[in-house]
């Protein structure tokens, strides 16, 4: 009987080890979900936007949608979430453009026609390239950097390293490892994950006005993640928890109102 128990224990440990190995080896597949190529912005009601090529410092060409305002005194650079794309934000971008903003939405490397393969460091380079691209048109201290979900990690790093005008985080996290540890509590994810996006370690370096928006019913990235990140941030800052929202269904009309409020510009 003891021999059978020992064999079962050995098998269980071996299976657990294989699961850990699989998570480590396939973490990029779990974390990044590239989307297919999308059409021109005009096909989504954005006739005054154009498709642009954005070069990164490491030689990757990204695809973006750009609207240039005649005034060039304020701008939005937007980083979407995982398994996301630009077309769902056409109406959101329209509102910013109509309010006088230059607008840039960028597809990460490997997403929607952009070259390259996704990675944490690659996403940071993509963010730097997008901000640099917009800063050639609008002063950096007049640019609102906005990131949703996985894009919030890119936005935090940019705002921590550049004097941007404002930072808006939608459904953000303290780190990807914290989110993964909640979902896979039975695995040593803090040892396994190499793509970490540690926003909690960077938020203290942000000096721009901050807006954090989270859905109270978000089960993918619980609102506690956004609250912890907000608590670690400097003033001026504002936290908005949308009571009926989850990770997908958020009130973007309200986000627009808050993001364009005078204290964020």
Two structure tokens written together for 136: 């050639």
Q: Which domains does the chain show, CATH number per domain?
A: 2-264 (3.40.50.1820)
Stated pTM of the model:
0.90
Cα(127)–Cα(106) distance, rounded to whole angstroms?
Answer: 8
Tens place of pLDDT per residue across the chain (265 aa):
566 565 555 655 555 555 545 555 555 666 777 888 888 999 999 999 999 999 999 999 999 999 999 888 999 999 999 889 999 999 999 999 999 999 999 999 999 999 999 999 999 999 999 999 999 999 999 999 999 999 999 999 999 999 999 999 999 999 877 776 666 654 556 655 666 789 999 999 999 999 999 999 999 999 999 999 999 999 999 999 999 999 999 999 999 999 999 777 6
Burial of 213 (0-12, 13-18, 19+ CB in 10 A): buried
Q: What is the pLDDT of residue 70?
A: 87
Helices and strands counted in the chain (H then E)? 9, 8
Closest of 32, 49, 31 to residue 40, by C-alpha: 49
* Three-state secondary structure call for residue 74: coil
**Cα dihedral sign for 95, 96, 100, 105?**
negative
């Amino acid at each position: 009987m003891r021999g059978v128990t020992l064999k079962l224990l050995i098998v269980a440990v071996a299976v657990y080890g294989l699961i850990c190995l699989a998570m480590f080896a396939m973490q990029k597949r779990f974390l990044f979900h590239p989307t297919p190529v999308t059409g021109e912005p005009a096909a989504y009601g954005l006739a005054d936007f154009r498709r642009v090529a954005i070069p990164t410092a490491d030689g990757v060409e990204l695809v973006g949608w750009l609207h240039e305002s005649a005034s060039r005194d304020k701008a939005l650079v937007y980083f979407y979430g995982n398994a996301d794309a630009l077309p769902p934000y056409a109406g959101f971008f329209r509102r910013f453009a109509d309010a006088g903003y230059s607008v840039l939405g960028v597809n990460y490397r490997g997403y929607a026609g952009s070259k390259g393969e996704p990675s944490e460091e690659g996403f940071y380079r993509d963010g730097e390239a997008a901000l640099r691209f917009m800063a050639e048109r609008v002063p950096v201290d007049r640019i609102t950097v906005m990131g949703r979900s996985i894009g919030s990690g890119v936005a935090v790093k940019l705002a921590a390293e550049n004097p941007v005008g404002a930072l808006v985080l939608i459904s953000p996290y303290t780190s990807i490892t914290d989110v993964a540890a909640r979902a896979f509590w039975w695995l040593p994810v803090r040892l396994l994950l190499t793509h970490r996006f540690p926003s909690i370690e960077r938020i203290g370096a942000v000096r721009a006005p901050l807006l954090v928006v989270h859905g109270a019913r978000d089960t993918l990235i619980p609102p506690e993640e956004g609250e912890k990140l907000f608590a670690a941030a400097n003033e001026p800052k504002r936290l908005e928890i949308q009571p009926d929202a989850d990770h997908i269904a958020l009130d973007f009309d309200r986000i627009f109102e808050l993001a364009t409020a005078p204290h964020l510009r």
